A and B are shown apart, each in its own frame.
Chain A
Amino acid sequence: QKEVEQDPGPLSVPEGAIVSLNCTYSNSAFQYFMWYRQYSRKGPELLMYTYSSGNKEDGRFTAQVDKSSKYISLFIRDSQPSDSATYLCAMSGGSNYKLTFGKGTLLTVNP
């Protein structure tokens, strides 16, 4: 079983839709959970991160972590064409510098 599983999609939605992106993981030592966004022909950039279980909101984006189920989600409300990108989940145990990334989900928001 891979440490981090993420459905690669692709996911195509109309503008204004609510988008749900998800990852599952197997390593109980993970404590920090991140979402990175990668536009075409660019490097990934950090969107938001959460520590342990719970929710975190930043504008149209909400990150959720359920450690009991080893399941994390990113919700995008009122999706825009500018949200079209690959979204990568990433996780860390906090004891070293290493991040473990999911494979990424390609999202397209159609005008």
Chain B
Amino acid sequence: DVKVTQSSRYLVKRTGEKVFLECVQDMDHENMFWYRQDPGLGLRLIYFSYDVKMKEKGDIPEGYSVSREKKERFSLILESASTNQTSMYLCASSPKGLAYLEQFFGPGTRLTVL
């Protein structure tokens, strides 16, 4: 059974803290993505990576960075968390080629920044 796992389902952090969200996939996929999902705003792409050590900005990269040192792992970093980063964070992966149309999502991490 294919799987994308995220390190935490719920996370509460303080303003100014550095926050790490981890994502691991076991499908040997080339592409990995970080989204945030907010009511009324839908899914918005933060960053994606199409290969190890490669990354591209999505639609809302400000305040975030990413790291992909291994193919199966993609980390999202909030350098200095702020209250407007309270959200549901979803990680996804997809294979290369036309199969990229099917993204496999993790269960999400609900982050609250106080």
A and B held together in a complex: yes
Q: How far is the CA of A71 from the CA of B45 in the complex (A)?
A: 23
Contact size range, A: 20 to 34
Q: Which residues of B contact A43 (CB under 8 A)?
A: 4, 90, 92, 104-108
Q: How many residue pairs bridge A and B at CB < 8 Å?
A: 53
Q: Which residues of B contact A41 (CB under 8 A)?
A: 107-108
Segment at the interface with A among B13-21, B63-71, B74-82, B95-103:
B95-103
Give which listed residue, A44, A88, A92, contacts B101 with CB less than 8 A: A92
Contact (A102, B107) CB under 8 Å given A49-B101, A97-B50: no
- Total chain B interface residues with beta-carbon distance under 8 A: 24
Q: Which residues of B contact A6 (CB under 8 A)?
A: 42
Which A2-38 residues sit within 8 Å CB-CB of chain B? 6, 8, 32, 34
Contact (A42, B40) CB under 8 Å given A34-B101, A97-B100: no
Residue of A nearest to B42 (CB): A103
Complex interface bits, A92-111 against B, C-beta within 8 A gives 1, otherwise 0: 10100111011110000000
Give which listed residue, A32, A46, A102, contacts B103 with CB less than 8 A: A46
Q: Which residues of A contact B102 (CB under 8 A)?
A: 46, 49
A66 contacts B by Cβ under 8 Å: no
B58 contacts A by Cβ under 8 Å: yes
Q: List chain A positions with a Cβ less than 8 A from chain B.
A: 6, 8, 32, 34, 41-46, 49, 88, 92, 94, 97-99, 101-104
